[in-house]
Amino acid sequence: MTDLSSSAILEELRAIALARATDFMAVRDGQLEIRSTSELTPQQSAAIASIERSTAGLKLKFYDKLKALELLGKYMGLFDSRAAWQDSPENNLLQAIVESTAGEVSVHDIPELQQAAAAGHDLVESAGNEAI
């Protein structure tokens, strides 16, 4: 049985996440050439899910690179909702809104919240007959 330590699992995920098609094949003189499996490193081989022969030739299928990257990112805490970049004051919109409304806000200072003028009138008059 193979070693199932956390470092072995991480190495397998790393191999899948960092695999590039150009490690396994190349285009030479307009022809696609696939490298022999004997030329591949164990890390490169770990990224291959299957090799099939069909009428069209050889077909290489790789493990899901995005899934491996996602799992590694989660392991490293890159997607943690409590990440440091989200707690910085410049990025915390909710906190900025709460702090900006902590004091009393006058609707007279916010034109969008003032009443509209009555039909046929250019100004809205306040209770004290002052133009707003």
Distances (CA, A) of 4 to 8, 12, 43, 59, 73: 6, 10, 16, 29, 20
Reported confidence tier of residue 18, pLDDT bands at 50, 70, 90: very high
This prediction's pTM: 0.53
pLDDT at residue 43 is higher than 60: yes
pLDDT tens digit string along 55-113?
Answer: 888 888 999 999 999 999 888 888 776 555 555 555 555 666 666 656 665 555 555 55
Query: Where would I find the beta strands (DSSP E) of the chain?
Result: 25-28, 31-34, 48-54, 57-62
Q: What percent of the chain has pLDDT over 90?
A: 27
Q: What confidence category does residue 33 fall into, taking pLDDT thresholds of 50, 70 and 90?
A: confident
DSSP-derived 3-state class of residue 4:
coil
Mean pLDDT, the chain, integer: 75
